[in-house]
């Protein structure tokens, strides 16, 4: 019973994958029709050659008995058929390439677009390299299998059908042998290919795991070297690489047995046709309808041409199993549930900055509780500091404010409006964020600064850079504001953070989120930037996540978090006077 269930589930999975492939092929149906027509022309030209060659052999009866006029006409016909077959094959290749690479482009576009609308919960739960492997490597493998299928499937099917018709027309006895024996090739191919699908799927999954490890190691190479973790990473890589080697060898070995099996069957067919054809040639010699040597030659050629597509199709079937496994992973990504659409919701406008969290419950996984019954009110224009030990929920609170995650219970509101009842774009446009982890895209300094406010003037951009104390080092770059950022060593972490601060200052949003915004800046520059921040924060609601408690002494309200709950709240002086958890944190930093 369990085997039946697994088999039906696997069949359903393949069926869904095939429907997905057909959906992407539908816009290119005219090219597929052209491919079929060109395949028919190619096969007709190819199959005409053995028949004409047999007729040409029959024109040579013996020494001095050659019909040169008929032979010349046959040679011209053979040349015309060969030319037609070659031209149609070239045109068919153009159509196949166009379909395969357009489908590849469409799938990659949809996969990349899907990544942009997936909830962060999905992306945070997977290695980034694994997702990249699906979009890049699996898509390439799928395209290769699709191209191979188009190139050989149509011509193979047309060749099989055409040869059968010709053989029945020439000698039905020979055609009957061919029809009875060659289906064994299909049975052998089906038996092997049905078992290689799982192997290719496993290969694709292990390859994605390896890509994820490489991506993680390359992206954090400095950390790896700093902790001398090269040997451990090499050991992990070797284990994954060995698994990939074994499953790849297993998949390739089993898929490669298809061709020898079908070739053995096809060789048997050829031998039987040759034997029966020779007996027929002898038996019908001198009769009214003799089976001539030329006809025997043509029949032998046709038996070879008939069996050849079986070899090609079995190769296609083996490769197509790999393509199906890759396509299944692609469609699984494309079919992931998106963030709920908010296009019909109104935009958040004319924001004063009053933020509230009312009886909020949230956890990343159901079995591990994090935030429970959290209530916070941040009046407009006030500075709210959030402090606490690592893992207490500070960054999670920021994720809920920005609606990177939705609450499991309760509500988050801005100016009394539930953030789930306005568009995410309008909500995030009213927040400015400076995080401890800086992010700059591969573009010019100017493009990075104008990312949040493309309409800003040159003077406004330079003023924001000066306020963030970034203007001087920008002007020392090779091309100033037109310098392209991208090299890892082009800017220090502190300089990158100053650019992120300047970017927010240029936007001037009504609400700010500062998550250790000056952690990578030296103390002297930090004092200057803090002064710029004070000017920026005037009249704006600010949420400040800080580990250095000296930076939040002037906050209007300090929220002390522990285990997902607010255990204390008040001003700096009030919390110190209370001699509670905040008092212990503060003294832990400044104790002599």
Q: Strand 557-562's sheet: what is its strand order?
A: 431-434, 511-515, 541-545, 383-387, 557-562, 565-570
For β-strands 409-414 and 511-515, DSSP reports them as unpaired
Task: Answer whether residue 63 shows pLDDT above 70.
Answer: no
Task: Answer whether residue 311 shows pLDDT above 70.
Answer: no
- What percent of the chain has pLDDT above 70? 89
Across the range 212-236, mean pLDDT stands at 80
Most confident residue range from 188-197, 411-420, 529-538, 562-571: 411-420
pLDDT digits (tens, 9 = 90+) for 162-192: 888 888 888 777 778 777 777 777 677 667 7
The answer to whether 402 and 428 have CB atoms below 8 angstroms apart is: yes
pLDDT band at 433 (very low <50, low <70, confident <90, very high): confident
The answer to whether 177 and 251 have CB atoms below 8 angstroms apart is: no
The pLDDT value given to residue 315: 67
Domain residues of the chain, as ranges? 21-334, 355-590
C-alpha to C-alpha distance for 302 and 59, rounded to whole angstroms = 20
pLDDT digits (tens, 9 = 90+) for 98-145: 888 888 889 889 988 888 888 877 777 777 777 888 888 888 888 887
The pLDDT value given to residue 520: 63
Task: Answer whether residue 377 shows pLDDT above 60.
Answer: yes
Tokens of 543: 């949420």
DSSP string, 554-591: T-SEEEEEETTEEEEEE-HHHHHHHTSHHHHHHHHHH-
Across the range 240-255, mean pLDDT stands at 84
The pLDDT value given to residue 288: 63
- Mean predicted lDDT score pLDDT of the chain: 80
Per residue, what are the HEC states of 228-280? Answer: CCHHHHHHHHHHHHHHHHHHHHHHHHHHHCHHHHHHHHHHHHHHHHHHHHHHH
The pLDDT value given to residue 528: 67
Reduced to 3 states (helix: H, G, I; strand: E, B; else coil), residue 515 is strand
Task: Answer whether residue 488 shows pLDDT above 60.
Answer: no
Alpha helices in 388-470 (DSSP H): 394-401, 424-429, 445-449, 458-467
Higher-pLDDT residue of 444 and 256 is 444
Could you give the dihedral angle defined by the CA atoms of residues 408, 413, 414 and 417, in that order, rounded to the nearest 10 degrees?
Answer: 120
Q: Alpha carbon 498 to chain centroid distance?
A: 33
The pLDDT value given to residue 10: 46
Q: Alpha carbon 157 to chain centroid distance?
A: 33
Task: Answer whether residue 45 shows pLDDT above 80.
Answer: yes
Task: Answer whether residue 4 shows pLDDT above 50.
Answer: no
CATH superfamily of 355-590: P-loop containing nucleotide triphosphate hydrolases (3.40.50.300)
The answer to whether 311 and 123 have CB atoms below 8 angstroms apart is: no
Strands (E), 501-549: 511-515, 541-545
Task: Answer whether residue 233 shows pLDDT above 50.
Answer: yes
What is the CATH architecture assignment of 21-334? Up-down Bundle (1.20)
């Amino acid at each position: 019973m369990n085997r039946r269930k697994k088999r039906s589930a696997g069949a359903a999975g393949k069926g869904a994958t095939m429907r997905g492939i057909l959906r992407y092929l539908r816009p290119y149906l005219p090219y597929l029709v052209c491919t079929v027509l060109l395949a028919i022309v190619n096969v007709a030209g190819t199959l005409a050659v053995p028949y004409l060659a047999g007729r040409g052999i029959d024109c040579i009866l013996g020494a001095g008995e050659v019909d040169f006029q008929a032979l010349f006409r046959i040679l011209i016909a053979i040349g015309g058929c060969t030319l037609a077959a070659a031209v149609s094959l070239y045109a068919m290749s153009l159509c196949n390439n166009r379909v395969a690479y357009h489908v590849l482009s469409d799938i990659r576009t949809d996969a990349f677009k899907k990544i942009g609308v997936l909830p962060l919960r999905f992306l945070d739960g997977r290695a980034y390299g694994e997702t990249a492997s699906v979009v890049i490597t699996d898509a390439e493998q799928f395209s290769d299998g699709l191209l191979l299928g188009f190139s050989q499937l149509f011509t193979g099917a047309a060749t099989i059908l055409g040869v059968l018709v010709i053989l029945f027309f020439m000698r039905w006895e020979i055609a009957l042998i061919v029809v009875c024996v060659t289906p064994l090739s299909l049975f052998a191919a089906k038996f092997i290919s049905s078992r290689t699908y799982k192997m290719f799927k496993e290969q694709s999954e292990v390859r994605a795991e390896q890509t994820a490890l490489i991506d993680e190691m390359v992206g954090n190479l400095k950390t790896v070297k700093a902790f001398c973790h090269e040997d451990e990473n090499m050991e992990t890589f070797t284990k994954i690489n060995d698994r990939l080697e074994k499953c790849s060898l297993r998949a390739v070995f089993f898929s490669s047995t298809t061709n020898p099996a079908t070739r053995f069957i096809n060789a048997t067919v050829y031998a039987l046709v040759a034997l029966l054809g020779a007996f027929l040639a002898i038996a019908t010699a001198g009769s009214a309808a003799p089976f001539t040597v030329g006809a025997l030659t043509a029949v032998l050629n046709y038996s070879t041409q008939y069996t050849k597509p079986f070899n090609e199709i079995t190769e296609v079937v083996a490769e197509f199993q790999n393509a199906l496994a890759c396509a299944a992973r692609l469609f699984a990504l494309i079919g992931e549930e998106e963030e709920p659409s908010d296009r019909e919701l109104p935009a958040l406008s004319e924001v004063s900055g009053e933020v509230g969290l009312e009886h909020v419950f949230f956890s990343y996984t159901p079995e591990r509780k994090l935030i429970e019954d959290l209530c916070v009110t941040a009046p407009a224009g006030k500075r709210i500091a959030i402090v606490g030990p690592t893992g207490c929920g500070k960054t999670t609170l920021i994720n809920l404010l920005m609606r990177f995650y939705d609450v499991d219970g309760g509500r988050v509101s801005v100016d009394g409006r539930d953030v789930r009842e306005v568009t995410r774009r309008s909500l995030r446009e009213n927040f400015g964020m400076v995080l401890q982890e800086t992010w700059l895209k591969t573009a010019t300094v100017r493009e990075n600064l104008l990312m949040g406010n493309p309409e800003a003037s040159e003077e406004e951009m330079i003023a924001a850079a000066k306020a963030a104390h970034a203007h001087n080092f920008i002007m020392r770059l090779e091309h100033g504001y037109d310098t392209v950022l991208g090299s890892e060593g082009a800017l220090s972490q502190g300089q990158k953070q100053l650019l992120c601060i300047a970017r927010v200052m240029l936007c001037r949003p009504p609400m700010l989120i500062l998550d250790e915004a000056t952690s990578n800046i030296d103390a002297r520059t930090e004092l200057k930037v803090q002064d710029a921040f004070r000017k920026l924060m005037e009249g704006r609601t600010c949420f400040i996540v800080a580990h250095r408690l000296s930076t939040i002494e002037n906050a209007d309200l300090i929220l002390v978090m522990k285990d997902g709950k607010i255990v204390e709240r008040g001003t700096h002086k009030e919390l110190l006077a209370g001699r509670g958890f905040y008092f212990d944190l503060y003294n832990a930093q400044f104790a002599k």
